[in-house]
Structure 1
Amino acid sequence: MGDLIISVLISIVTSLIASVVFSAATDGRRWRKVRPKVEFDIYEILLSLMRFIQVGLEINENGWRFSFEKVEAGEATTEDFNLWLQNKCLNNTYKYDEMGDRLLPIGDKLATCRDKLCKQIDRCAAYHAFMTAEEILLLKKIATKVCVYSYEENAEMVIAGKVFRPVNPTLAYMADNFLELSQLYLALQNKAISYRRIDRTINNYVVSDFRIAKARKHYYAGEYRRCICALRLMRKVDVFQKYSLLFKAYYCCGEIEKALVALNHYLDVTTLKPISFRNIFSDMHMNIHSLDERVLEDLCDRFTNDAVNEMIRELDREKRIEDAAIKSALEIKSHYAKG
């Protein structure tokens, strides 16, 4: 009798173990099949969130924006967003005083970006079983933050026959929310660029090389050595991105000779004129006018002086546009601070 009970118990335990193993194997196969699609969807949400934040950095209707590099570096502050949002309003109803001509209506763009983000995040809810708790929480926070404010309001409110308008029509009051969204962007970016299963065949043109993205984050953060180490280990990578970034990192480390080698590797494979790759020489860590003269000498060996000077003039023009936007934003801020 005892042997029979033991045999039954062993049979039950064996069946349970087999069931658990089979279930785990099945779940594992489903995870491997579905996870690549989920990672692609999350990456698309990252791009949509970046677009939302960039709308808040727009300078004019021609597509000019304040540099996104400070956001990418994780160095943006509430004060930065407060300044960047000074020249923005929701719509034309807010352009009711002497500062009106300086204000850029972006409410429609923010609403469009919000709606797209929320739809993308809602679609991801069907795949929560294939997401980590951290990913689910991040997406929930993003969906909540982009809906904190209404982007469709009218500036005028009629009460008892009287028309009331806000004292300050700018979007500077959204600065804290934009900062929090930028922090969520960086957190989601750190997750996304670590993905190994993402299905690039869905749209290979959308998904960037995550190795380059990681190296660029090191560069923006001033971690030049880590950037260099990451780039030197890369094989089968876009040589344009690799050597342009390697040039920047070596240059900022003070290793000019190695920077010039990287720059010449880049120049060997490009057919573009200097004006088309001008951003190599100007960013948050570099200024075209303080470059070592050997850099410009190498450029002049490859291109005409006119082509190099054209690049410099364009960089100066872009700098003037951003400087003028900052000056205008400070004037708008001062105007409304006086009440």
Structure 2
Amino acid sequence: MSDTQQTTLPQDVRVGIIGVGRMGADHVERVRTRIKGARISVISDYVRETAEKVSAETPGSRVVDTPEEVIGADDVDAILIASPGAFHRDQTLAAIAAGKPVLCEKPLAMNPQDAYEVVRAEAASGAKYVSLGFMRRFDAEYAELKDALDAGELGTPLLLNCKHRNATVLPGFDDTMMVYDSAVHEIDAISYFLEEPVVSVQTVVPRSTELAPDGLHDPLLFLFRTESGVVVTDELWVSTNAGYEVRTELVGSRGASTIGQDIGRVTTQLEGGRWGGSVPPDFRPRFVAAYDAEVQAWINAVADGSNVAARSATAWDGYVGAAVCEATERSLTADGPVEIALEARPS
């Protein structure tokens, strides 16, 4: 897509979506009912019947058999990828080759080498095409903390303390999934808030809850250190038998600021698996406004030709996340910190 084409899109950005399982179907409903300036035009899913069911509830859309057909369609201006993570690399590379902006749910790729290939492909294209779906960047509290930090209100960052708690996880959820499905969000938060590389990671294994599935150490504590010496703690507890909570505290030289508590009265860990106040059961109600803001910002960026919204995670952020996750996985069985080295960022 040329620069001229980018600034002369139809009134509504025509979105092609790849994958309409739980997350993809949520995005279709979001674009259909709450996002301005966009419509879903083409849908594909590995299970065609699923795509046809979603399309039947989405006026003006049509179903195709393959992701390649979505990406190459003349009635698609931008691509939303919500397929399984193993397909994200190839589908994102195809979108870049077609010159179409893409919002890809995490992960960008299944390993840092493949993610870096996407970074290089985008750099070689000479344009920005890739946004990565880390929706927390568009959460109002995250944005407020980021703005306070950037304005110097908190001084020099010293510590970043993160907590991530789920009520339950599916059978088979193990320590590796704790890294790639849970900690990955806090790993991206390091990039978002601190904007500097992580140079080491260490895993600390506390006593485990009796509620944890077999094969899962729960809770887990990850200790990250950044290039400038900021220490980041990430406490993950995914078998609370209560609700979903995400808290973040930034400790700076001039003050400390905490987000994730200003959501009403919070009472957790009640007998019988109950919780009180306004703690939601999972991530969707907690971050629904962030998802809406993320997709709306992406659509606005596509419409004005910039393609990538200001707060959005980029292909480079996706590569950094993949590299740090891989090192974090190695730290699960390592004796001491694991060092992290990143490839050079293409200009």
Which structure carries more strand by proportion? 2
- TM-score between both structures, scaled by the size of structure 2: 0.26
- TM-score between both structures, scaled by the size of structure 1: 0.26
Which structure carries more helix by proportion? 1
